[in-house]
Chain A
Amino acid sequence: EPEVTQTPSHQVTQMGQEVILRCVPISNHLYFYWYRQILGQKVEFLVSFYNNEISEKSEIFDDQFSVERPDGSNFTLKIRSTKLEDSAMYFCASSDPPVGQGGDYTFGSGTRLTVV
């Protein structure tokens, strides 16, 4: 079964540092997403990406966040100047077609980001 792969599985960073979370979506998927889940809370949408641009973003996805598809396989989330409250599980997902048209999402296993 095809998988969405995320690296690293766990990242510890100092407050104020930049982190890049990496994802390899399913190869024939065209829609990509980032979600986060703070410990004990809901899974929250951050951003969706299609055709090399952001198609939708939430209020959480402010100027400290950015996404990129640097090549044909990777999809990255960059967090500039991390804050303590950025500590969470970050999930990448991909789909094709977009889920609203009956398609399903496939989520990765997540990156646990701990900001100290």
Chain B
Amino acid sequence: LAKTTQPISMDSYEGQEVNITCSHNNIATNDYITWYQQFPSQGPRFIIQGYKTKVTNEVASLFIPADRKSSTLSLPRVSLSDTAVYYCLFTGGGNKLTFGTGTQLKVEL
């Protein structure tokens, strides 16, 4: 079963760039890499999805190397409101999402 590994927690300060790396050594050919954000007592919110190379949207960038064994979510210039749990997931070969424990990002002044 494909599995992701990410740091349990990270701390940052407002205005800094934050990079959260996820390892996924046994990713399958048909798997996409998807990142979600979750605030306390709210549902997970889609951030970004990619298959390979780099994807950028209005809130984040996702870097995926050629071997696809890892991916890095980059959040530019974080603010206090970016304090949340960030999940790296595989999305492929089925409909369900399998969440891990995620990375708790804490942003301070």
- Which A residues fall within an 8 A CB radius of B? 4, 31, 33, 35, 42-45, 48, 50, 55-56, 58, 89, 91, 93, 95, 98-100, 102, 104-110, 112
Residues of B with C-beta under 8 A to A112: 41
3 closest residue pairs by CB, A with B:
A107-B43, A43-B99, A45-B96
A102-B98 contact given A43-B38, A89-B41, A109-B43, CB 8 Å threshold: no
Inter-subunit contact B95/A100 (CB<8 Å): yes
Q: How far is the CA of A98 from the CA of B43 in the complex (A)?
A: 18
Residue of B at shortest CB range from A46?
B96
Inter-subunit contact B94/A100 (CB<8 Å): yes
Q: Would you give the 0/1 interface string for B33-58, flagging 1 where the beta carbon is closer than 8 Å to chain A?
A: 01000100111111001010000000
Residues of B with C-beta under 8 A to A98: 94-95
- Which B residues fall within an 8 A CB radius of A? 30, 32, 34, 38, 41-46, 49, 51, 87, 91-101
Inter-subunit contact A55/B95 (CB<8 Å): yes
Which one, B51, B96, B100, contacts A48 given CB within 8 A?
B96
A interface, by DSSP: helix, strand, loop or mixed?
strand
Inter-subunit contact B101/A102 (CB<8 Å): no
A33-B96 contact given A104-B46, A104-B49, CB 8 Å threshold: yes
Q: How far is the CA of A40 from the CA of B100 in the complex (A)?
A: 12
Inter-subunit contact A99/B41 (CB<8 Å): no
Which one, B32, B34, B42, B91, contacts A109 given CB within 8 A?
B42
14 extra interface residue pairs, beta carbon distance < 8 Å, beyond A100-B30, A105-B97:
A43-B38, A45-B98, A48-B95, A55-B95, A58-B96, A91-B43, A91-B44, A93-B43, A98-B95, A99-B34, A100-B95, A102-B51, A104-B34, A109-B42
